[in-house]
Amino acid sequence: MFQINQRFIPDFTKPLDLLVHCHENIERQLEALARAAEVRRVGDSLNTAQAFAAIDAACKHFAVAGIRHTADEEESLFPRLRKSETSAGDEALAAMSELESQHRTAEDMHRQFDEFVLSLPRDGSADTRELDSFGEMTAELAAFYRPHIFMENNLVFPIAGRILSDGEIHAQGEEMRERWKDILQKINATAANVSPLPG
Ligand SMILES: [Fe+2]
Ligand SMILES: [Fe+2]
């Protein structure tokens, strides 16, 4: 998943690399949430405002870019792997079912997390119970994503790289390009005055 304002021009001819890049962005958002949880615990009002800016950015990232990343996997990658009739494709089948189930769990977790964030007071007056709950939910999200991303990066994507044809990879990339079209336009507009750098 890509971020507006970042100096990164995605290369849709390498869609599997882009999916890994999206995971790095997910991990960055989870780290930002963990830092925000620490700041909230300290209770500095200036930092509280900064913490909420990071929390809001992370929630938006998962709600907008996260949804598209899931679609990139479920609609543009997994169906192509399922069509494969190789033994490696069979190995990926069980993993993909598990990953899709985890995507639904992630959606529930984010729904609950977003609702909880909305309920938090933003003036630094959150009580210990609320701060503890925020820290726990943030830690649960990180613990949830770690094995999910590991399985995708280290099992499913490498299998896809081995068994999908150049044509299938190209088609996957073009579907993803279409899915991200509006965000890409914003990235391009923002990047007009900066040099394109990966990541
Ligand atoms: Fe996934
Ligand atoms: Fe993923």
pLDDT at 87: 75
Element (H, E) at 64: helix 45-71
Ligand 1 center–CA 129 separation, angstroms: 31
Per-chain mean pLDDT for the chain: 88
List the domain boundaries for the chain: 15-125+144-188
Instruction: Please report, for residues 2, 19, 63, 180, the alpha-carbon distance to residue 12 in angstroms, rounded to integers and kept in the order given.
Output: 12, 10, 22, 10
Ligand 1 center–CA 197 separation, angstroms: 25
Most confident range, picked from 50-64, 85-99, 183-197: 50-64
pLDDT at 42: 63
Diameter of the chain measured on Cα atoms: 58
Neighbours of 153 (CB within 10 A): 15
Ligand nearest to the CA of 27: 2
Residue 95 DSSP SS3: helix
Ligand 2 center–CA 23 separation, angstroms: 6
Neighbours of 67 (CB within 10 A): 15
Ligand 2 center–CA 193 separation, angstroms: 30
Q: Is the pLDDT of residue 197 over 50?
A: no
pLDDT at 7: 59
pLDDT at 196: 37
pLDDT at 125: 85
Q: Which amino acid is present at 64?
A: V
The tokens for 91 are 């190995």
Q: At a CB cut-off of 8 Å and minimum separation 6, what does 35 contact? A: 51, 54
Residue-wise pLDDT tens digits, 39-60: 766 666 658 888 999 999 999 9
Q: How far apart are CA 24 and CA 77, in angstroms?
A: 18
- Across 97-118, average pLDDT: 98
Strands (E), the chain: none
Ligand 2 center–CA 121 separation, angstroms: 32
Ligand 1 center–CA 12 separation, angstroms: 18
Ligand 1 center–CA 128 separation, angstroms: 33
Residue 5 is given by DSSP the state T
Q: Which CATH superfamily is domain 15-125+144-188 in?
A: nmb1532 protein domain like (1.20.120.520)
Residue-wise pLDDT tens digits, 149-193: 999 999 999 999 999 999 999 999 999 999 999 888 876 776 554
Ligand 1 center–CA 110 separation, angstroms: 14
Ligand 1 center–CA 49 separation, angstroms: 31
Global confidence as pTM:
0.88
Ligand 1 center–CA 29 separation, angstroms: 15
The tokens for 134 are 């925020």
